[in-house]
Amino acid sequence: MKIIRVKDKAEGSKKAFELIKAAIENGATTLGLATGSTPEDLYKEMIASDIDFSQMTSINLDEYVGLDGSSPQSYRYFMNKHLFDAKPFKQTFVPNGAAADLEKEAADYEEIVDRHPIDIQILGIGHNAHIGFNEPGTHFEATTHVVDLTESTINANKIYFDKVEDVPTKAVSMGLASIMKSKEVILMAWGEGKADAIAAMVNGQQTEEVPASILQNHADVVVIVDEAAASKL
């Protein structure tokens, strides 16, 4: 893993943007995208740039079960608002959390991942070192699947909902094996709350209890961390 330490989120987001820009100049056509507060400034950089994404494909990591794209808390809505409305892509994939048959949705989504190999995957990280919605204990071999969210994740995400009871308890998420298929990974983390997860991912033992530790096996991972998130490295 290559670790890039930056002062803050603004500097780190610019750094991530430069890496994506270079990858696109080198022929990348498919971006793996993430939601959450971590990539928000990166998407602002992408919107402010003169890069034309209209021939590119994006594949998002995950979606809440039970929310369709018109729900403001859905990840489809988040992506439209934070990136796609301003910068259209040729095609954008986000799992359908409102699908009647979620197992089929997950299997179909993995086929999408296989049909459009991801050149560069953007990741944030949860406080418990989850990536996508792969909670501790998820098998490293898992492909896209239906996930039960942990209490820690539900609590972390309740700020986006009126009350904690409104936070979905399940999601459809690309699995750890799906994420490992991408050619290059950029994982970003800002703030002290991520310091333990970053230390466990980088220096800890590789274990399914620390989902992000699977990335120790990936050949091309860049970790961009601000001072607070790097404080336990």
Residue 62 known to be catalytic: yes
Instruction: Tell me the sheet residues that pair with 225.
Output: 5, 189
CB nearer to ligand GLP: pick between 38 and 178: 38
Q: Is 37 in the site for ligand GLP (CB under 6 A)?
A: yes
Q: Is 126 in the site for ligand GLP (CB under 6 A)?
A: yes
3-state secondary structure of 227: coil
CB nearer to ligand GLP: pick between 52 and 192: 192
- C-alpha to C-alpha distance for 62 and 79, rounded to whole angstroms: 11
Given the residues 41, 60, 105, 130, the one annotated as active site: 130
Q: Is 38 in the site for ligand GLP (CB under 6 A)?
A: yes
* Four-residue CA torsion sign, 123, 18, 44, 109: negative
Q: Is 175 in the site for ligand GLP (CB under 6 A)?
A: no
Residue 128 known to be catalytic: yes
Neighbour-count burial for 103-119, b at 16+ CB within 10 Å, e otherwise: eebbeebbebbeebebb
CB nearer to ligand GLP: pick between 82 and 87: 82
Quick one: which of 95, 124, 168, 211 contacts ligand GLP (CB under 6 A)? 124
Instruction: Write the burial class of residue 217 (CB in 10 Å: 0-12 exposed, 13-18 middle, 19+ buried).
Output: exposed
The stretch among 50-58, 111-119, 123-131, 176-184 that binds ligand GLP (CB under 6 A) is 123-131
- Mark 55-94 with x for binding to ligand GLP (rule: CB under 6 A) and - for no binding: ------xx--------------------------------
Residue 134 known to be catalytic: no
3-state secondary structure of 28: coil
Quick one: which of 20, 31, 33, 36 contacts ligand GLP (CB under 6 A)? 36
82: closest CA among 92, 68, 90? 92
CA atoms within 13 A on the CB side of 139: 6
Q: Is 34 in the site for ligand GLP (CB under 6 A)?
A: yes
CA 69 to chain centre: 18
Residue 101 known to be catalytic: no
- In angstroms, give the least distance from the CB of 181 to ligand GLP: 17
CB nearer to ligand GLP: pick between 98 and 147: 147
Quick one: which of 87, 113, 133, 210 contacts ligand GLP (CB under 6 A)? 133
What single-letter DSSP state applies at residue 216? G
**What's 100-153 look like in SS3?**
CCHHHHHHHHHHHHHHCCCCEEEECCCCCCCECCECCCCCCCCCCEEEECCHHH
Residues acting as catalytic residues:
62, 128, 130, 135
Q: Given the rule CB under 6 A, which residues bind ligand GLP?
A: 34-38, 61-62, 124-126, 132-133, 153
